[in-house]
Amino acid sequence: MKLAIELVPIPTMNVNVRSHISSYRWRQLSLNIQRRDDYACVICERRKGHEVHKLHCHEQWEFNEKHEIQRLIGLQSLCFQCHMLKHIGFADMQGWIEQYALIEHFCEVNRVDREQFAIHLHEAVQQWMHRNRINWKVDLSAYTEWI
Ligand SMILES: [Zn+2]
């Protein structure tokens, strides 16, 4: 799937670059990534100032279950809808899903129907519950390249 739901485990939800640097530095970093990404969402390709109001900076992770390492592998510019879909598991998001037409956006970007969305969400939640039980060591070493 071009736009996949990737839920961060609960124990490491706040262990990330964003929480390690000041909001000013995060903003600068985010702007640098947006410039690199030509001011467009890297998934749905909608452009800032045209189809979308603003872009978010998303932290991409790789999960090595054998060694229990959650490693930061990149930062990418995402539009609001793509970014919300990445984090869709949150309990308080039910209203948001409808208000911002998130399921429609998922189906449009991936060219799938609502049933396929439901299957993908279910699988992502199952994987997330499994990952919540792992004692992750978070590797942020790659982030120094970007600041
Ligand atoms: Zn997008």
List, for residues 109-135, the tens digit of each pLDDT value: 999 999 999 999 999 999 999 999 999
User: Can you say whether residue 45 is alpha, beta or left, with left for phi > 0 and alpha for psi between -120 and 50 degrees?
Assistant: left
Distance between Cα 143 and ligand 1 center (Å): 23
Residue 52: inside a domain, yes or no? Answer: yes
Would you state the structure tokens that stand for residue 146, as one six-digit string?
Answer: 């970007």
Look at the chain and report how many structural domains it folds into.
Answer: 1
User: How far is ligand 1, taken at its centre, from the CA of residue 42, in Å?
Assistant: 7
Note whether residue 20 is domain-resident.
yes
86-91-95-98 Cα dihedral, nearest 10 degrees: 40
- Which whole number is the average pLDDT over 72-87? 93
Confidence of residue 3 (pLDDT cuts 50, 70, 90): very high
CA 67 / ligand 1 centre spacing (Å): 32
71 has which bridge partners? 62, 139
The Å distance, Cα 47 to ligand 1 centre, comes to 9
In a domain, 1, yes or no: no
Q: What is the pLDDT of residue 130?
A: 96
Please check whether residue 61 lies inside any domain of the structure.
yes
Is 88 in contact with 8 (CB distance < 8 Å)?
Answer: no
In a domain, 58, yes or no: yes
Contact 69, 60 (CB under 8 A): no
- DSSP, residue by residue, 104-129: HHHHHHHT--HHHHHHHHHHHHHHHH
Instruction: For residue 46, report the distance from its CA to the centre of ligand 1, in Å.
Output: 6
Q: Tell me if 82 is assigned to some domain.
A: yes
What residues does 79 pair with on adjacent strands?
55
Compute, in angstroms, the gap from residue 96 CA to the centroid of ligand 1. 16
144 or 44: which leads in pLDDT: 44
* Residue 2 maps to a domain: no
How far is 35 from 30, CA to CA, in rounded Å?
9
Distance, in Å, from the CA atom of 140 to the CA atom of 61, rounded to the nearest integer, reads 10
Distance 48 CA to ligand 1 centre (A): 10
Q: How remote is the CA of residue 68 from the centroid of ligand 1, in Å?
A: 30
Q: Tens digit of pLDDT for each residue in 41-50?
A: 999 999 999 9
Q: How many angstroms is it from 33 CA to the middle of ligand 1?
A: 15
Structural domain containing residue 100:
10-146
49 — alpha (psi -120 to 50), left (phi > 0) or beta?
left
Could you give the CA distance from residue 33 to residue 23 in angstroms, rounded to a whole number?
15
- pLDDT reading at 145 higher than 90: no
- Interval between CA 133 and ligand 1 midpoint (Å): 30
Matching residue, tokens 């909608």? 46
